[in-house]
Amino acid sequence: MTTDMRRPRLWHLPPIGVGTPDVESADSYLGRLAQAHGVARQTLHKFINGHGPAIYQNLRGQPPRLDVPSQQAAAYMRRVAELVGHPEVETLGLGWLADRVRAQHVFRSDRGWCSACLAERQAGSGLHTPLIWGLASVTHCARHCVRLRTACPACGAKGSIRRVGAVDGASCASCGGTLAAVGGDAAEPMSDVEAAVLEQMGLLVSVVASQAVGSESPSFGEIVTALHRRGHHVKACEMVRRMGVSKGTVSTLMRGRTQPGIDLLLRLSTAYAVQLPDLLLRRPGDRDWLKRAARHHPVVWPSRARPRIDWAASQRVLELEMASEAALPVAQVAKRLQIDPRHLMTQRPECAAVLGTRYQMRIKQEREREGDRVLAMVQALDEWPSQRAVARDIGVSRTSRGFRGAWQ
């Protein structure tokens, strides 16, 4: 690592839980660092991003996701490690998985937490958000065997981890109520699949990023060959049954036509009880790298095949939506029908075209009405000193479409 630690520009704040399944997320670390400096998180992001060549070109909207497996997140955490003078900060998040797996569907969009863990950390010290709580496949807490909460027990609101100013403490951002357990959530038994997933993802987040230096990511075919060398029964029909996927998915992966995502590698590692990090890291020339076995037994995943769509019933709903005054977009109608929008546009292109046209007309009419309303407010003013003053007087944004049209 070529990090220069001689002149740290930020507080020397050590990360929590490095090398363990309880390691904190990169977003949590940046939140604690911003709190230590007494500034908003977005202000700290802009300072770090501007301390050298810009990594993220636009930080005016949502804050960057620093835990995702991407080159930008990895470069950003390297810069944070330089600024705080702590090399272990670079290992936070899953940036070391960049170009090894796809980043889609790895993390959940809403915040998840264990109420018992928050109560313990609130009473003691080290209130942080573990990285494993943000993974979409993890459903339970490994310490208390309780299901992770995703909604406030008082108001039922879900906390987005993508918006500006998101709170990752022990209180709800909507009502201010506590998220920590008062009486404690009752422990519930985990299924074999949930327990295996929890163990495998704990192994993944505890891997230090430096282990990926100099290693290569084996192909799916090489992984299957190594499993066969270890004595596993890896015929295609048996693999399909254990992983709960289709034959076409396995065939596509074996031919190397697509890169496997973290969900497929997770299914493979739990189905054959091998450690998930070994499926992602291999030293050059090492043919027997799949040596470590997981502690759980091999599990059989339920099939993830989608249920058949009743197109007759869906057609009746589509006809009602096409005649409705709401004029919803295609994606929202497909969500109501529990159908993929692309599937809907492929199977019912005429209905999708009508829905899209009606939605565009609705948006156009709403913009015209908004433009007329702003124009009337502008014309009612006695003087127009400047755009900024007029926009401030009528209470609208100077860059909005309605104000620009009215001013012209």
Q: Is 25 left (phi over 0), alpha (psi -120 to 50) or beta?
A: beta
Residues with Cβ within 8 Å of 322's Cβ and at least 6 positions away in sequence, in order, are 351, 354, 355, 358
pTM for this prediction:
0.74
Does 251 score more than 80 pLDDT? yes
Domain ranges of the chain: 26-97, 214-303, 311-407
User: Which residues contact residue 377 at a Cβ distance below 8 angstroms, ignoring those fewer than 6 apart?
Assistant: 394, 396, 406
Per-residue pLDDT band at 164 (split at 50, 70, 90) = very low
Q: What is the pLDDT confidence band of residue 2, given thresholds at 50, 70 and 90?
A: very low
Residues in the chain, total:
408
Note the pLDDT tens digit of each residue in 85-110. Answer: 989 999 999 998 888 887 777 888 88
Residue 184 pLDDT? 62
* CA R_g for the chain: 26
Q: What pLDDT digit, counting tens, does each position of 268-309 carry?
A: 999 999 999 999 888 888 878 888 889 999 999 988 766 778
Q: Given this model, what pLDDT does residue 92 score? A: 92
User: Confidence band (pLDDT; 50, 70, 90) for 374?
Assistant: confident
Least confident segment among 122-136, 200-214, 280-294: 122-136
Tell me how many helices (H) and strands (E) the chain has: 15, 0
| pLDDT given at position 8 | 57
User: Tens of pLDDT along 214-229?
Assistant: 888 888 989 998 898 8
Residue 24: what pLDDT?
A: 92
384 vs 35, more confident: 35
The DSSP annotation for 260-295 comes to: --HHHHHHHHHHHTB-GGGGT-B-TT-S----PBPS
How many angstroms separate the CA atoms of 375 and 390, rounded? Answer: 11
- The widest CA-to-CA distance across the chain, in whole angstroms, is 86
Q: Cα separation of 37 and 203, whole Å?
A: 32
Per-position b or e across 61-83, b if 16+ CB within 10 A of its CB: eebbbbbbbbebbbbbbbbbbbb
The whole-number pLDDT of residue 128 equals: 83
Average pLDDT over residues 309-337: 86
Reply yes or no on domain 214-303 having CATH 1.10.260.40: yes
| Residues 6 or more apart whose Cβ sits within 8 Å of residue 330 | 341, 344, 345, 352, 355, 356, 359
Does 160 have pLDDT greater than 70?
no
In the predicted structure, residue 4 carries a pLDDT above the cut 50: no
Model pLDDT, residue 7: 55
